[in-house]
Amino acid sequence: MSTLRCAPLKCLAWLAPVAALALAGCQNDTVPGPESGKEYFPLEIGSYRVYAVADTLWNAFQRTPSSYQFRETVTDQVSDATGKPAYRVVRARRTLPTDTWRDDSVMVVSVASRSLVLTKNNRRTVELVFPVQQDRTWDMYAFMLGDTTEALDTGDRRYDNRRYQNIGEPFQIMAGGKTYRYDQTLTTALIVGNPNKYGFDDEVNRSTYQQVYAKGVGPVYRVRRRFDYCDPQTGTCGKSNTRIYKGQARHEILIEQGKL
């Protein structure tokens, strides 16, 4: 019976392809874990995003549309309400692309190991939870009564009002005759029908909210609708005739991004 003999370096060279094939086979069998999700909302001082906004108001069945632009700029690093590192985001507004930007509001975004929290008008909302997983739900108002991360995982799903959808899916939308496409996105949507005042869809009211985030880009699309179908003069309520007595619908589409 013969025995394979070779110099040490030659044996290593011969075994290298075999080892590479074995390693590749192991990698193919590995099931990837959930994404952390932080790459869907990058934050860098000086970066900005410009959104085209279509806003429609209803009052006493009268519809009033308007359009303008928002610019959200990460201006500096600060501390949030709990003393943790965060980023200040200044939102400016203008009606026409030729107009001067005027500051509209200020937000604070903080990113922790398990969530991304947005503070605006002294209200904290959980915009993302980590890791991202298809159909995962959470209470976006979990931190309004306390500042502990346990609020996200109480095991009580009755008051969850946000859900992940379409994780890793492409997204495409048009604005101003131009098509914007992103290869890898995720969507957060408002859950309606839960016994809370934040999400509902019935014969009297309708409330929906959806955000699309692109990997490496951030929020690229936002839509919010809040309608009241009741007519106080007749005392009748119902959306079968599609008449909106009072409400608002706002669509925001990312059309520009960069760094100042």
What does the pLDDT read at residue 28? 42
Q: What is the pTM of this model?
A: 0.80
pLDDT of residue 81: 74
Q: What distance lies between CA 123 and its chain's CA centroid?
A: 17
Residue 208, pLDDT score: 87
- Binned at pLDDT 50, 70 and 90, residue 236 comes out as confident
Confirm whether 22 is domain-assigned: no
pLDDT at 199 over 90: no
Residue 250 lies in a domain: yes
Q: What is the mean pLDDT of the chain?
A: 81
Q: What does the pLDDT read at residue 172?
A: 98
Q: Give residue 9's pLDDT.
A: 42
When pLDDT is cut at 50, 70 and 90, the band that residue 138 belongs to is: very high
Distance of alpha carbon 162 from alpha carbon 186, whole angstroms? 13
Cα 184 from chain centroid (whole Å): 13
14 within some domain: no
Is residue 255 in a domain? yes
pLDDT in tens, 49-80: 999 999 999 999 999 999 999 999 999 999 88
Q: Is position 24 within any domain? A: no
Query: Which is more confidently placed, 102 or 29?
Result: 102
> Buried b / exposed e across 150-166, counting CB within 10 Å, b at 16+?
ebbeeeeeebbbbebee
Burial class (CB in 10 A: 0-12, 13-18, 19+), 65: exposed
Report if residue 91 sits inside a domain: yes
What gap in Å lies between CA 231 and CA 258, rounded to an integer? 46
Count how many domains the chain has: 1
Is 16 in a helix, a strand, or coil? helix
User: Looking at residues 114-122, what average pLDDT do you find?
Assistant: 93
Is the pLDDT score of 168 beyond 70?
Answer: yes
The whole-number pLDDT of residue 30 equals 39
pLDDT at 36: 83
Cα separations in angstroms, 51 against 18, 175, 181, 237, 244 = 53, 10, 15, 35, 26
Give the residue carrying structure tokens 């003999």. Answer: 5
Mean pLDDT across 109-134 = 93
Q: Which of the two residues, 35 and 141, has the higher pLDDT score? A: 141
pLDDT exceeds cutoff 90 at 151:
no
Residues 79-94 have pLDDT tens digits of: 887 788 999 999 999 9
Structural domain of 63: 34-259
Residue 2 falls inside a structural domain: no
Q: What is the pLDDT of residue 240?
A: 63
b/e map of 3-34 (b: 16 or more CB within 10 Å)? eeeeeeeeeeeeeeeeeeeeeeeeeeeeeeee
pLDDT band for position 152 (cuts 50, 70, 90): low
Omega before 65 cis (within 30°)?
A: no
Give me the percent of the chain exceeding a pLDDT of 90: 56
- Mean pLDDT score, 116-123: 92
Longest CA–CA span in the chain (Å) reads 102
Domain assignment present for 40: yes
Whether the per-residue pLDDT at 24 is higher than 50: the answer is no
